[in-house]
Structure 1
Amino acid sequence: MTDTPRVEDRNAQFTAQRREQLRSAADRRADIQARIDAGRLVPIGGGRYRVDDPGNWDNGEVWVLTEGEVLPQHGLDTSTGRAALYTRVPAWHELGTVVPEGESDIDRVLQLGGIDFEVARRPVLYQNTLAGATNVLADQFVTVRQDTGAGLGVVGARYEVFQNRDIFEFLQDLVANHDVVWESAGALREGRRVFVCLRLPQTVVIDAAGINDQIVPYVAAVNSHDGSSQAQVVLTPWRIECGNTERFALRDAAARWGVRHTRNALDRIAEARRTLGLSVRYFQTFAAEQELLARTEVSIAAFHQLVEQLWPAPQPGASERTRINHRTRLETLDRLYASNTVRLGRSAYAAERAITEYADWKSPIRPTGSLRGRNLAARATAVMEGSNDEVKSRAHRQLLSLTRR
C-alpha cells in the first residue's frame, strides 16, 4: 500500500499557529509581561513591541498593544474602512473576504480584494517659500491612488504605472489559462503594494526515504505603486494573504522574474515563462533533485565540511570576535541541521534546508542607510535582492555532488 503524501503546506502551519495565538487571548494577556521580562518582546515605543524570539514565525516582527493584547501587524490596506484582501482560505488574522470555492472573474476578485482602484501620475509641485509661486519639478511625478486621493510615491519620467488589472491579466496569460481560480489578492501599506496569487495544477512530490512530501506550488505577482521595487512574479510554496506571507513568498521563491515599470514591459510573457520555467518538466527536475538529496546520507562530519567550505574558519591570528562569530555560526547551523533531521533524517535534503534557513534568517546583518535600525526590513530586502543566493546555490551544487559518489 502506498502512503498518502504528506502535504507540506506552509500556509496551513502558519495559519494554525496564528489562530492559536489570536484565540488564546486570556493566556496571552497573562503572558505578555513574562515575555517582556524574558526579552522576547522588546518595547520600542508607541505601544509597539519587536519580537526577539528566534525560531518563532514572528521573530523580528513588530506587534502592537491593542486593548490589553499584543497583536501582530498584518500590513493589509485598511484605508477604505475594510481590509483589502480576497482569499479562498481563511487567513490567520481572520480579515478580508473569504470565498472557499474561489473566484475566476478578475473584476470580482479586484472588488473583493479591495484593489479595484487605478493609479495615475501627477506632476510634483513645490514652493520655494511658503508664500511663493508654485513650480513644477521637471521629470518627477507623484503616483496617486484615484479612489482615495492618497499619494503613494514619487517616480521618474520613464516610470510606467502597472494597473492592478494589468497584473491579473499578465498572470492569466503567463499560465496560458484564462479560466483560473484565484487563490488570493489584496493590497498592503495603503495600496502602495498589491499582490495576486494562484495555485498551479502541478505539485512536487518528494517520495524518498519515507519523506513523501507534496509541495504545493503557487505563482504570485507582487507590484508596487510607489516606485520602491520592480514588478515581480515568483514560484513559491506560500499563498500570500498579508505582509508576512508576502515576505515569505519572496523569500522562499523557487524562481522569480522581475521587470521595471517601463512601457511595454508586461508584453514580455514569453521571457517570463522561460525564466520561471512554468512547465511540468521544471517541477519534475526540481522533484528529482530533491529526491536525490533526500536519499543521500550526510554525516555530521560531512555537514561540517560543507559548512567550512561555505564559511571558512578564521585564519591564525584572527580576532577573538571573529573566532566567536565563527563558533556561533557553527552552533546555529548544527541546531538547524539537528531540527531538520528529526523528520528528514541525516540527509542532504535536511542539510540544504538548514543552510537555506541560516542564510536567509539567521546570518548576521548590518542595515545601513535608510534601513539602519530596521533589521527585518533589511533582511527581507536582502532576500528579495538575492544577497545570499550564491551561498545557497553553492550548497545545492555541493550536496548534489554527494549524490553521485
Structure 2
Amino acid sequence: MSIDVNEEFAVERARQLEAARDWERALQDNLAAGTVERLPDGRYRVVTGWDAGEILSANGVPQHGLDLSRGTAALYTSAPAWHGLGNVVPGGTSDIDKVLELSGIDYGVDSVPATYLWNGETRVDHELFHTVRTDTGASLGVVGKGYEVIQNRRAFEFLQELVADSGVIWESAGALRGGKKVFVSMRLPQHVTVDAEGINEQILPFIVAINSHDGRTPYQTVVTPWNPVCGNTERLAVQDAITRWKIRHTRNAIDRIKEARRTLGLSLKYYDRWATEETALARTSIAIDEFNQLIDSLWPPEPATTSRSARNRETRRNRLHGMFEGETRRTGRTAYAAERAVTDYLDHYVPIRPSAASGLRGNKPAARGLRLLEGVDDELKSKAHRRLMLLRQR
C-alpha cells in the first residue's frame, strides 16, 4: 500500500492545530473564570482547587513530576487532576489493590548487590546494594546492608483498616521521581468546621502516607487538615498533637508500621481541639502592626543584610501583605486570616531551588509538592499558630 506523506502531514498538522485551538479555548475559559492566572514569564498558575499553585508551561504542558516509567502517569485520583493525567475513579474507591494498580505503584522492589569494574573485571561490593524496581529494572537508590525495603502494599495496607472502620475513601495515590517516592492519601468522611456561627469555613481532614525507595528518606504518615478554598495544607499545632509519624528503613520496620494505626488514632482526636483553636483565631481581630510583628518573628531581620537579601525580604513582605488583604476580604481582618496568609505563602510561594540530588531539578511544582508532603515548613506553620494564639490574651 502506498503512503502519501503529504496527506499524512496535512492530517497531522490539522490535528495539532485543533489541539492547540482546544487548549486556547480551555485556557481562555479558565482565565475568565479565575481558575488560572498568567505569570510574567508566559506560563500559567492554577489558583483554585486541589492544584492551586501548580504551573503550566506557556504551551499548556503540565509540570507534574509524576513517574512515567510505564508510559502513562503513575496517578490515581478520585477527581480529575489539573494536568488531565492519571486514572480517575469519580467519588473514589475503598479497595487498596485497585488503588495500587490504577496509580501504577503495584510494583515490587528488590535489593541487589552493587557491582563495580576493576581492571576489566566485575566485582561485588558486599556493603552496598541497589534498590531496583521489579517491573522495569530501574535503580531507585543505593543503600547499605542494614536497609530494609518496605514494599508499597505493606506500607499502605494497614490504612485499609481505617477505611473499613471509618468509611473513608482513598483520595489519591501515585509515584514521583521514577518511582523513588510513592504516596497515598485518604479523606475522612466528616468535615471540620471553623467558626460555624461566623465564617463557617469547611476544612477536610486527610491522612497521607509516603514511602520511599531511594535510601534518603524515611517512611512516614501525616495527619493534616486541607482548606479547599486556597489549597493549603495545615498542621495540627496544638499542644501534644501527633501529626507526623516516621520510621527508618531498618530491621523490623514492617513491624513498627503496625504502631502507626494507634498513633493515627490518637492524632485524629485532636481535630476537634484544632477546630476550637482556629475558631478562636477567627474571632480575634488583628492590627497591621501585629501582622508585621508576626512576619518578623517567622523571618527575623538579619543584622547585616545585602541589597539582594533586603530586596528579597521586601518582596516577601509585600507578597504576604497582599495575601493577607485577600484573606481579610473573605474572612475578616482576623488572626485566622493572618494564619491563612502565612500558610498559603509557605505552601505555594516561598522561593525554592530544586537540587539535582532531589531528582526534580528544574521542576519547581513537583519539588514544591514534595516539600509540602515532607513537612519542610511544618515548624514555621506551628510557630505562626502559637504566636497568633497569644493575641487572644491581649
Bin of the TM-score, shorter chain as denominator length:
0.7 to 0.9
Q: Could you tell me how far apart the structure 2 residues matched to 1:167 and 1:397 are?
A: 33
Query: Cα deviation per residue 1:180-216 (whole Å; 9 max; x = unaligned)?
Result: 5422323233322222222213321112563111111
The answer to whether the 8 A contact 1:52-1:59 is kept is: no
1:317-368 per-position Cα deviation (integer Å, ceiling 9, x unaligned): 7655554444333322211211111101100001112223334544455777
Does the alignment pair 1:40 with 2:41?
Answer: yes
2:244 corresponds, among 249, 252, 256, to 256
For 1:4, the equivalent position in structure 2 comes to: none
1:395 corresponds in structure 2 to 384
2:15 — aligned with what?
Answer: none
Q: Which residue of 2 aligns with 1:266?
A: 254
Equivalent in the alignment of 1:18: none
Q: Distance in 1 between matches of 2:41 and 2:331?
A: 29
3-state DSSP of counterpart to 1:198:
strand
Question: Who is 2:285 aligned against?
Answer: 297
Q: 1:90 and 2:77 equivalent?
A: no
The DSSP-based 3-state class of the residue aligned with 1:144 is: strand
CA 1:79/1:329 → structure 2, altered by over 3 Å: closer, same or farther?
Answer: closer
- The answer on whether the counterparts of 1:206 and 1:287 sit within 8 Å (CA) in structure 2 is yes
SS of 2:220's equivalent? strand
The residue correspondences of 1:105-254 to structure 2 (distance < 5 A) are 105-129=95-119, 132-173=120-161, 177=165, 181-208=169-196, 210-237=198-225, 252=234, 254=236
Match of 1:342 among 311, 329, 332: 329
- Per the TM alignment, residue 88 of structure 1 is displaced from its structure 2 partner at its CA by 2.4
Q: Distance in 1 between matches of 2:258 and 2:186?
A: 19
1:105-160 Cα deviation digits (max 9, x unpaired): 3333322332222111111111124xx11100121111121122222222211111
Match of 2:345 in 1: 358
Structure-2 separation of matches of 1:233 and 1:22: 43
1:223 and 1:230 in contact (8 A); partners too:
yes
Contact 2:96 2:160 in 1 (8 A): no
Aligned residues: 354
Q: What is the letter of the counterpart of residue 401 of structure 1?
A: L
Residues 158, 262 of structure 1: 8 Å contact kept: yes
Q: Secondary structure at the match of 1:228?
A: coil
Q: Distance in 2 between matches of 1:143 and 1:185?
A: 21
How far apart in 2 are the matches of 1:178 and 1:358? 33
Q: Distance in 2 between matches of 1:151 and 1:197?
A: 25
Q: Is the 8 A contact 1:297 1:347 kept in 2?
A: yes
* Separation in 2, partners of 1:275, 1:203: 21
Distance 1:104 1:264 in 2: 28
Alignment match, 1:9:
none
SS of the residue aligned with 1:214?
Answer: strand
Looking at structure 1, the residues matched to 267 and 371 of structure 2 have their Cα atoms a distance apart, in angstroms, of 28
Structure 2 residue 75 is the aligned partner of structure 1 residue 71: no
Tell me the distance in 2 between the aligned counterparts of 1:331 and 1:185: 36
Change (3 A) 1:22 1:212: farther
Q: TM-score, normalised by structure 2?
A: 0.75
Q: Which moved more, 1:193-202 or 1:341-350?
A: 193-202
Instruction: Measure how far apart 1:393 and its partner are.
Output: 2.5
Quote the Cα distance in structure 2 between the aligned partners of 1:214 and 1:273: 26
Gaps (5+ residues) in structure 2? 1-19, 29-37, 237-242
Contact 1:231/1:259 (CA < 8 Å) preserved in 2? yes
Structural mapping, 1:321-336, within 5 Å: 321-336=308-323
Identical counterparts, % of pairs: 50
Post-superposition shift, 1:298?
0.6
Q: Specify the alignment match of 2:271 in structure 1.
A: 283
The amino acid that maps onto 1:310 is L
Whether the 8 Å CA contact 2:223–2:268 is kept in 1: the answer is: no
- Whether the 8 Å contact between 1:203 and 1:283 is mirrored in structure 2 is no
Q: Which amino acid aligns with 1:133?
A: E
> Retained in 2: the 8 A contact 1:86–1:113?
yes
Measured on the aligned residues, the alpha-carbon RMSD in Å equals 3.8
Q: Which moved more, 1:364-373 or 1:188-197?
A: 364-373
Instruction: Provide the C-alpha distance between the structure 1 equivalents of 2:319 and 2:327, rounded to a whole number of angstroms.
Output: 12
Partner of 1:403, secondary structure, is: helix
Name the CA shift for 1:133/1:257 in 2 (closer, same or farther; >3 Å): same
Residue 91 of structure 1 aligns with an amino acid whose one-letter code is A
8 Å contact kept, 1:367–1:375: yes
Q: Report if aligned partners of 1:208, 1:294 keep a CA contact under 8 Å in 2.
A: no
CA 387–99 in structure 1, closer or farther in 2 if over 3 Å, else same: closer
Segments of structure 1 that go 5 or more residues without pairing to the other structure are 1-20, 30-36, 42-50, 240-247
Q: 1:22 and 1:161 mapped to 2: Cα distance?
A: 47
Partner of 1:120, secondary structure, is: strand
How far residue 85 of structure 1 moved from its aligned partner, in angstroms, is 2.7
